[in-house]
Structure 1
Amino acid sequence: MRPHALSIAILLSIHHAHASETEEIISLPLIQVNAEQLTLVDNVVKVENRNADNKTLGDALKHISGVQSSAFGPNAGAPVIRSLSGNRVQILEDGASIYGMNAISGDISIPFDPLFSQTITVNKSSDSVRYGGNAIGGSVNIDTGLIDMDMSDKNANLEVVAKKGWNDFNAKGFKLNLNNQHNFSTNFLFSTQDISSYKIPGNSKASVCNTALFPVSGGTNTALADACQKEARVQQVYNTASQPYIDQFMTENPDWADGTFSFYTDQPTSVWSGKNYINPENPDYVPDTPKYTQNKINRDVTPDYKNKLGNSYFENQHYAIGSTYLFDRGYIGISADSKKSEYGVPGFSLENKSFQAHYDDGLPVGVKTDQRKYTLQSQLNFESPFLNQIQFNTNKLINTSSEYLGAEIANRYKFDTQQAELLLKHQPMKLLSGFIGLNYVDRKVKGQGELRYLPDLNTQTQAIFIKEKLDFNWLELDAGYRTERVEHKVQDSDFKTSRNSPNVELKDRKFNLDSFNVGSYLKFNDLIGRKITLFGFGKSAGN
């Protein structure tokens, strides 16, 4: 905080006009205003999440410069940082990865509480030294606020949210904090959001889905038909009224016919196998009509709803509890939370129906996610410059994501992850600070369903990383390095690779990953600076 003097020299006053030889002088008091200094270091942005209108994590962050939302329909939106998304952007909750199918499949939502998540920190630069290869495009860390790092100034605090949405979520929930104003603090949390469907003007499919499928130049706009989920094609239909006679031989020998046109002819007689046939007149004959007409097939594979976005329902529930023991040199906290959601993916059906099939029984795509997380988080502070803080965090994350066709499971994947991290922070001198860390992840992936596309897999990762920073106030220099060992083990299951898959035989893999960064930040003033960072990534050959 910096004090700035603000002089106010504008005085508006109304006086009655009168003659006076003296002029009254009014002196205004000096007003002091404190303004918080902005910081641009490290491209890190921290935002308060206090907007009940946010539906997804992508919605909560899309207003940040350089960040967009992938928006796979209204119910699934992930952050895209400078065009990088998926498993290139590490999504964390309370500092721990919540990696699951949400990093692989765009229609799987990231578990997120839009009502009570405290803050969201976005690093728009590569964060691979800190969080590994899944953060080459940056990282997003959600602070749930379940574990308190400081004692509240009140022994009880209740937050209640109730929102009735028109064409938007209905939302309600509460967060209750109870503490003894000394060393124990506990949070209880419940929230829910739901909507049956979104109302829209007109039809759920754009008008071009009907008006532009068949160009004037002929043929079919197949790309548009696929986007609109339409069966669209031009069918050449023989006109039985175009020829004046019926072929008598074909009438007597229909097995010889090669289509409807074979039964008609322009000739009153015909010769087959040396025998003459007299062809009767075609009673439906109309002179000067074309032999073929075009039948333009335009049918909806998925329904085109009027004034409603079909299959756009959404339900979300979050239950959580967190308790913290605070002491003079730090804290230790535990939390447990459960997030469940169920929603539809508008306009999509995964069924591969053939042309001219019955589409009335088309099955819409639905998604169900269930995340359960158990966390232990601790911090111990020291006065020693060579070790001024120790953080130890561990959690167990069970993330299950399922895609449905109607009521039937298309595929389901369960990510069972255990992870632990030890972080040692130090500041041996005023200008130099940094940390050294160890990280361990054990992840088991199991799938089921006829349309599953990933094998069962066990993955173990061990990593060590270090990062240091020199701060001269006007100039910052930083460097970091991370090395990790990754081991994938394919598990026995009934999974079969696709016919054209390059991986005919699935094999275990082991390899090392190395990441480093060297950067500098030159500050010209409080608002303008220049940051230059060099990143590097490497992979050692394994087996």
Structure 2
Amino acid sequence: MSAIWEKSKLNVRQKTRLDRKQLDRIQAQTLGETLSHIPGIQNASFGPNSGMPMIRSLSGSRVSVLSNGLSINDLSGISPNINPNFDMDNLREIELYKGAATVLFGGKAIGGAVNVKDNTIPMNRLPKQITGQASAELGTNNGNSQSMAFNANIGQYWVGHIGAMRLRHGNLKIPGNTKAAIAYDPKIDHLTAAMAQVNVDRETIRNLTLYPYLSQFVIEHMGDPKWDLSEADLYTFENYSFINGSKVLNPQNDKYVAGQDPNTPLYTEVVHGITDYAPVKPGVMPNSHAERNAVNAGASYIRDNFQLGLGLYALESYYGIPGFAQRNKPVHSHTTVWTPIYEPINTRTYSYAWQVESAFKPKTELISAVKFNYRGEVSDDRELLGRYRVNKFDSERHALRSEITQQFNPFWSGTSGVDFSFVALRGEGDRRYIPNNLSREGGIFTLQTIELNPITAHLGYRHDWVARRTLSDPTYQRSRGMAGGDLSARDFSLNHFSGDIKYSIFDMAYVQATFSHAERAPGVNELYAGNDHFAILVEENGDDRLNKESSNSYELSAGLKYGGFKWSATHYRSFFKDYLYLAHTGISRSGGFLVKEWRASDTEIQGWELEGAYTYDTSLFFVNRTIRL
């Protein structure tokens, strides 16, 4: 008995699917690493335990991550070290949408989308009464992991599922050193030193042989607190000083050397030593440990024309970021001196979710299926320095989506629907960088498909309403920078269009052209951030005046498939208006925090994707033989 929700697939342009067999071959721990082998996809990693997909140079708040078609608690766009929790052993399929997928999933999919499908809610009745699997792995470098999953038919119409996983590993071993040689080069600049997390003991030496005179005024007033003069003011190029309104000759500097190159610098910087923020051991990636636990359970009621499923999820993770940050701690002495101590940056997350999926097949040829899905989730995401909590996000999320799949005639079909999400984000911690806030997002969409062999066309439109609000938060302390301005309420109205046309040649080759217009509302961090962000070592400043971001994208692709040979090429170009980015201000605070602000500018992204493969059936070399005794 096949599932209705599997039959009512969206008719969209080409997307990439990874099934369970492919996921088993990849065996990656993060979503970004899992998809990084696909052309146009990179792993936006923040260490070995934190990695999200970067689609055609876009990531974070521009790539929507979904669970079974619904938005999830994804704070990676706010802080790249906090990834959504997934039980990678429980996944059955990953769908990847390259390019804007906003018509289907809203403004956050302006750069693409990743839909993760799991096994928690059974899709079909089982061929046997009970099925199950269990696995255990132990490695010298990637630790140990265990997983199990069992499914069972219950009565005539019910199917149940239960699964769990556990993973542990310590700091990872790597060849060579964790830092490039430039980290210890005496010529290293201040920005590179901060990124490499090294302290540089610099001394700036003034070249006194370049100054021919000593200031008589400074000599006479050096000890007068009224003038606050120092030895740095003593040396001068002027041959006289003004004292009490009279011109007085300056004495000569006995250190002066005449005839030097006029381009000789006045100051010379000498580096006496370079030390790491925290000890680094060759061959070991520091603070790369990880622990993960997950439990999931679900059940489905499956009939020929109706299905209803419920899934429950509990996930916990604790992992390190290969970086260190400074916070002041008192030294146990009789003085009031505070000593900076660098501690490892860690992340701990707890996530609990429940999901309902339903599908109904009406007794009419016009409507193929009606679907209604809902997901609720509460999460606790913490950023730690060692074991000290510097920031905590408590989030509550609700998302629902309803779709109707129509079949108007043999060559015209489509999917239309509505979706809505609500997110409340509250924080704790003495160094948190975002005030309490909530977001409401709603959308209505339609995507139509016309198939007139050999031509296929897709046309789609979506309209979104987005509201961002800050909440009363007397404990939140903002930085000295812009820090979100007035933290004003913002409302955005977004429009999305997409269209593509594909010409197929005898199922062997195709040519396809695509256009999409997409819009994205600024995220809560882009609008309201305003404090030290330890995970990225930046004082992050939002701007509540920012406008929505929009893009016009063009894509041309072609492909050929013949026998075991497969080839495809795609050229894409996107023009962004008011592209939001975190910009340097040129200011830095104590503790090595660079001050950055969210700003907007126009930009263009373009590139090529080429892929070729050849598959050969090796079974031709083997002959099956039966030996009889």
- State the TM-score bracket (shorter-chain normalisation): 0.7 to 0.9
* Pairwise CA RMSD: 3.0
Q: Judge conservation of contact 2:47–2:322 (CA < 8 Å) in 1.
A: yes
Pick the aligned partner of 2:455 from 463, 466, 475. Answer: 475
Is residue 334 of structure 1 aligned with residue 310 of structure 2? yes
SS in 1 for 2:151: strand
Q: Displaced runs of 4+ in structure 1, greater than 6 A?
A: 254-257, 539-542
Is residue 522 of structure 1 aligned with residue 503 of structure 2? yes
One-letter amino acid of the structure 1 residue matched with residue 362 of structure 2: F
Q: How does 1:91-102 map to 2 (within 5 A)?
A: 91-102=65-76
SS in 1 for 2:13: helix
One-letter amino acid of the structure 1 residue matched with residue 173 of structure 2: K
Report deviation, 1:506: 1.1
Pick the aligned partner of 2:397 from 417, 427, 434. Answer: 417
Residue of structure 2 equivalent to 1:304: 280
What CA distance in whole angstroms lies between the structure 2 residues aligned with 1:377 and 1:293? 66
Pick the aligned partner of 1:403 from 359, 383, 393. Answer: 383
Residue 153 and residue 295 in structure 1: after superposition, are their counterparts in 2 closer, same or farther (change >3 A)?
closer
Residue of structure 2 equivalent to 1:222: 190
Report deviation, 1:144: 0.9
Cα deviation digits, residues 455-506 of structure 1 (max 9, x gap) = 2112222221111100124211111111122222221003244322163311
Q: Judge conservation of contact 1:57–1:110 (CA < 8 Å) in 2.
A: no
Report deviation, 1:197: 1.0
Residue 442 and residue 293 in structure 1: after superposition, are their counterparts in 2 closer, same or farther (change >3 A)?
closer
Residue of structure 2 equivalent to 1:213: 186
What CA distance in whole angstroms lies between the structure 2 residues aligned with 1:51 and 1:180? 32
Pick the aligned partner of 2:359 from 379, 383, 386. Answer: 379
Is residue 171 of structure 1 aligned with residue 149 of structure 2? no
Residue of structure 1 equivalent to 2:480: 499
| More strand per residue | 2
What CA distance in whole angstroms lies between the structure 2 residues aligned with 1:313 and 1:144? 26
Pick the aligned partner of 1:131 from 97, 100, 105. Answer: 105
Cα deviation digits, residues 405-442 of structure 1 (max 9, x gap) = 12111111122011111111110111111111011212
Residue 357 and residue 346 in structure 1: after superposition, are their counterparts in 2 closer, same or farther (change >3 A)?
farther
Residue 349 and residue 503 in structure 1: after superposition, are their counterparts in 2 closer, same or farther (change >3 A)?
closer
One-letter amino acid of the structure 2 residue matched with residue 439 of structure 1: D
Report deviation, 1:527: 4.5
Residue 293 and residue 467 in structure 1: after superposition, are their counterparts in 2 closer, same or farther (change >3 A)?
closer
Residue of structure 1 equivalent to 2:577: none
Report deviation, 1:378: 0.4
Cα deviation digits, residues 336-385 of structure 1 (max 9, x gap) = 001111001113325489xx9966x4211000112211011101112412
One-letter amino acid of the structure 2 residue matched with residue 227 of structure 1: M
Is residue 484 of structure 1 aligned with residue 470 of structure 2? no
SS in 2 for 1:118: strand
Report deviation, 1:44: 0.3
Tell me the TM-score normalised to structure 1 length: 0.77
What CA distance in whole angstroms lies between the structure 2 residues aligned with 1:45 and 1:119? 10
Q: How does 1:231-242 map to 2 (within 5 A)?
A: 231-236=199-204
Q: Judge conservation of contact 1:41–1:521 (CA < 8 Å) in 2.
A: no
Report deviation, 1:237: 7.0
What CA distance in whole angstroms lies between the structure 1 residues aligned with 2:13 and 2:102? 14
Residue of structure 1 equivalent to 2:263: none
SS in 1 for 2:479: coil
What CA distance in whole angstroms lies between the structure 2 residues aligned with 1:368 and 1:524? 52
Q: Which moved more, 1:505-514 or 1:198-207?
A: 198-207
Is residue 509 of structure 1 aligned with residue 490 of structure 2? yes
SS in 2 for 1:43: coil
| Structure 2 gap segments, 5+ residues each | 1-10, 207-221, 235-267, 330-336, 522-546, 549-629
Report deviation, 1:293: 10
What CA distance in whole angstroms lies between the structure 1 residues aligned with 2:271 and 2:446? 69
One-letter amino acid of the structure 1 residue matched with residue 13 of structure 2: D
State the identity %. Answer: 25
SS in 1 for 2:39: coil
SS in 2 for 1:483: strand
Q: Judge conservation of contact 1:50–1:118 (CA < 8 Å) in 2.
A: no
Residue of structure 2 equivalent to 1:250: none
Residue of structure 1 equivalent to 2:15: 44
What CA distance in whole angstroms lies between the structure 2 residues aligned with 1:50 and 1:381? 34
Q: How does 1:2-17 map to 2 (within 5 A)?
A: none
One-letter amino acid of the structure 2 residue matched with residue 480 of structure 1: G
Cα deviation digits, residues 37-89 of structure 1 (max 9, x gap) = xxx97230110222473110111111112111111110100011111111111
Residue 51 and residue 104 in structure 1: after superposition, are their counterparts in 2 closer, same or farther (change >3 A)?
farther
Q: Judge conservation of contact 1:51–1:114 (CA < 8 Å) in 2.
A: no
Q: Judge conservation of contact 2:110–2:520 (CA < 8 Å) in 1.
A: no
Larger radius of gyration: 1
One-letter amino acid of the structure 2 residue matched with residue 197 of structure 1: N
One-letter amino acid of the structure 2 residue matched with residue 302 of structure 1: A
SS in 2 for 1:428: strand
Q: How does 1:169-208 map to 2 (within 5 A)?
A: 169-180=143-154, 182-208=156-182
What CA distance in whole angstroms lies between the structure 1 residues aligned with 2:453 and 2:319? 49
What CA distance in whole angstroms lies between the structure 2 residues aligned with 1:397 and 1:313? 26
Q: Which moved more, 1:403-412 or 1:504-513?
A: 504-513
Q: How does 1:41-190 map to 2 (within 5 A)?
A: 42-48=13-19, 49-51=23-25, 53-180=27-154, 182-190=156-164
One-letter amino acid of the structure 1 residue matched with residue 426 of structure 2: K
Q: Which moved more, 1:70-79 or 1:198-207?
A: 198-207
Residue 496 and residue 522 in structure 1: after superposition, are their counterparts in 2 closer, same or farther (change >3 A)?
farther
What CA distance in whole angstroms lies between the structure 2 residues aligned with 1:430 and 1:295? 76
Q: Judge conservation of contact 1:205–1:305 (CA < 8 Å) in 2.
A: no
One-letter amino acid of the structure 1 residue matched with residue 162 of structure 2: F
SS in 2 for 1:178: strand
Residue of structure 2 equivalent to 1:322: 298
One-letter amino acid of the structure 1 residue matched with residue 294 of structure 2: H
Q: How does 1:256-275 map to 2 (within 5 A)?
A: none
Tell me the TM-score normalised to structure 2 length: 0.67
